[in-house]
Amino acid sequence: MMARQAPQPAGNRRPTAAGARRRRVFLCADDYGIAPGVDAAIRDLLTGDRLSGTSVMVATRTFDATEARLLSALAGDARRLSIGLHLTLTAPFHPLIAAFRPTRNGAFPTIGRMIQLGFLRRLDPQALAAEVTAQFEAFADAFGRPPDFVDGHQHVQLVPQVSEAVLAATRRHAPQAWVRQCGRRVPLGARFADRKGLVIDLMSRRFRRLAATHGLTVNPAFAGTYDFADPRSYAALLAGFLDHLPDGAVVMCHPGRVDAELERLDPLTTRREQEYAFLASDAFPALMQSQGLLLA
């Protein structure tokens, strides 16, 4: 059974010429909820029609009902913007349930440790399922509805054992949502040049098969990973991500403004400001136009 493709969310937004067919990409800002500066930057881009949607971390100390109301107001009753659940199961964040194991100083394991434990099948399935369920329920409590889509911080949804828990919970709590797979469609040489991308490519093959067995929708392709030490501008990187993407592909991004909370939690700081600056600039719609793309 083949996994179905993700639906094309109603979006942006700009009419095309009669008879013209332009590809749509779903540009998703990850990490809403991680810190106030990131949240404000994402809301600014959503207001300016520069994003298709955002995925929300509910297991952070700064995400609350106020942040959910602000985001819901932007989406509106017509749901013109998509709001997803960004499942958070890695350090330095803390579980919502006290019974989650293993932890270190109360926090989840690092992503490297989660991958190791998942491949060895050493994660506690019941504790994992309970934590994933708690995050779905926290999202529903905050927004009054299930998420439009589901993905994971640091691509944790692709990890063995985690995948099973995430897909089962999605089928149970948000069966109409699509789930993010991270398989890319890039030339072979570029595939091997990006080691991180190659790993998630391989893990996504398994994830797509599992999603199909659950009857869940996945995105047809994915882009957005890069080495944060890469000296190229974000404009150049994004142009490469967008090149030759199929219709309906997901491109992740991490725009934000740096504040003390972000610096406490995450090493990805100034790159977020660079992404935000480009997406907010006139150069971004010009790039989309030059590649014949619309936001989904």
Determine the Cα–Cα distance for residues 116 and 266; give it in Å rounded to an integer.
Answer: 21
Q: Give the position of tokens 């994660």.
A: 123
The pTM assigned to this predicted structure is 0.91
pLDDT digits (tens, 9 = 90+) for 134-170: 999 999 999 999 999 999 999 999 999 999 999 999 9
Residue pair 113/49 in contact by the 8 Å Cβ criterion: no
pLDDT at 184: 78
pLDDT at 2: 35
Determine the Cα–Cα distance for residues 118 and 184; give it in Å rounded to an integer.
Answer: 23
Segment (H or E) for 236: helix 234-242
Q: Which residues of the chain have pLDDT under 70?
A: 1-21, 77-79, 186-197
SS3 content of the chain, % helix, strand, coil (to 5): 45, 15, 45
Beta bridge partners of 152: 87
pLDDT at 87: 98
Determine the Cα–Cα distance for residues 257 and 223; give it in Å rounded to an integer.
Answer: 22
pLDDT digits (tens, 9 = 90+) for 179-219: 999 997 765 555 556 666 678 989 999 999 999 999 999 99
pLDDT at 229: 85
The DSSP-derived string for 144-201 is: SS--SEEEEGGGGGGSTTHHHHHHHHHHHH-TT-EE--------HHHHHH-HHHHHHH
Q: Name the residue among 238, 219, 233 with its Cα closest to residue 285.
A: 238
Determine the Cα–Cα distance for residues 146 and 272; give it in Å rounded to an integer.
Answer: 28
Q: How far is CA 170 from CA 177, 195, 264, in A?
A: 7, 29, 31
281: phi then psi, degrees, rounded to nearest 5: -85, 165
Q: Which two tokens stand for residue 162?
A: 């985690």
CA quadruple 179, 181, 182, 184: dihedral positive or negative?
Answer: negative
Diameter of the chain by CA atoms? 60
